Structure 1
């Protein structure tokens, strides 16, 4: 006789956004959060968020609780904290959150590209990026891909998919999802795509949502870079 069950585990791709904090200073966080929500209120409130703490800061439970309170007060959907030496797993769980390891292969996400062991630690930041990650299959809604170096996608990126790279992002097809380059603050990072129809494009934390993308660049082959804090759009091939 078939055994009765009341639950069932199923594998499923879930997209989460990683919120990298560079400081735990509340005044700076409040100001930046308010600015980000003013520019893109719906997107930031709807997505599940994993909090990535600054590695150089040892956070106390009280400090982290105040940060979480600031985020939750703005209706942000916090689900976990990235594993970090800044705070213990016990403290994270005491605050009602789970702990995840960024780059895990669980859930079908593509793992972060590992930094090459033969690179000396003293190399400049741009030279110490991880290896380039190449994806030759379509990136579908709900998938998230993270590269510690450059990220090259040779197939379409669907609506609801998310690309994150510490270096450049190249999409040799239609970009409909989100592309976040220079996620560790590299302002020299760039985004290249053959068809720009993105939900969001970001470089080193400076971003434009779909409604703010220049209409003249939609469906075009585009090269996107930063000039100071301004996002610049230019043709991928000279016109």
Structure 2
């Protein structure tokens, strides 16, 4: 028997979800341009989903798709759509997705497992960088944790499929769990980042400038959102 021409497999990929009261083209253009200016490389051709609510009436989905294309973004679909919004989005060629609390609503009763299947733990290697990472440089630890024995400067980017440890100031971008593992963390001795991301979830500088700014910090995922705590 010949092998199948193609395989269709289910997978999970990180998507950026946009929540905005104003889904007009003009309003969303202004908001997106401001975010893109903060981290243009991170969002280039990023896959995005629009969160809809009942208050969003008469949304021009075709015009929004064109806006995303102009900004070098990919509008995949919408979530939270009611019946009318669903039809309009599908007519515009957008997917209708269930994310977050939407997806949890699918299960109406607990799932009972007849047996626990042991999971084989794959050891994570470690990549060590013995210098500062300067503006314009990018370091990627594929299938590994990343240790930087120095600072990550503004405009620099460090990426790891595992955890990231920075024994200096983090002024650039740090992306941990790049392969989708939400259990990974970012540790730094001075948080001044342009962007931090774990498994596709991210915060920009304006969201980070709070109690832990300019302090030693640990960035992790908690309840489907990024959380920050003191390192020690």
TM-score by length of 2: 0.55
Q: What stretches of structure 2 of length at least 5 have no aligned partner?
A: 1-10, 21-27, 48-64, 75-117
> Where do residues 1-239 of structure 1 align in structure 2 (5 Å cutoff)?
22=12, 32=16, 34=18, 41-43=35-37, 46-47=40-41, 73-76=69-72, 124=120, 127-128=121-122, 130-148=124-142, 149-237=144-232
Structure 1's unaligned 5+ residue stretches are 1-20, 54-68, 79-121
Shift in Å, 1:224: 1.3
> Shift in Å at residue 41 of structure 1?
2.7
| TM-score in terms of structure 1 length | 0.53
Match of 1:97 in 2: none
Partner of 1:113: none
| Alpha-carbon spacing, 1:186–1:133, altered in 2? closer, same or farther (3 Å) | same
Mapped partners of 2:130, 2:217: distance in 1: 20
TM-align CA RMSD: 3.5
Contact 2:38 2:194 in 1 (8 A): no
What is the CA deviation profile of residues 59-111 of structure 1, one whole-angstrom value per residue up to 9, with x for unaligned ones? xxxxxxxxxx8896151279xxxxxxxxxxxxxxxxxxxxxxxxxxxxxxxxx
| Alpha-carbon distance between aligned partners in 2 of 1:129 and 1:213, rounded to the nearest angstrom | 31
Distance of aligned partners of 1:166 and 1:51 in 2 relative to their CA distance in 1, 3 Å threshold = farther
Q: How far 1:47 sits from its partner (Å)?
A: 2.2
Could you tell me whether the CA contact under 8 Å between 2:188 and 2:218 is conserved in 1? yes
In 1: Cα distance, 2:169 partner to 2:135 partner: 13
Q: Distance in 1 between matches of 2:40 and 2:178?
A: 20
Evaluate the alpha carbon distance shift between residue 226 and residue 138 of structure 1 in structure 2; reply closer, same or farther with a 3 A threshold: same
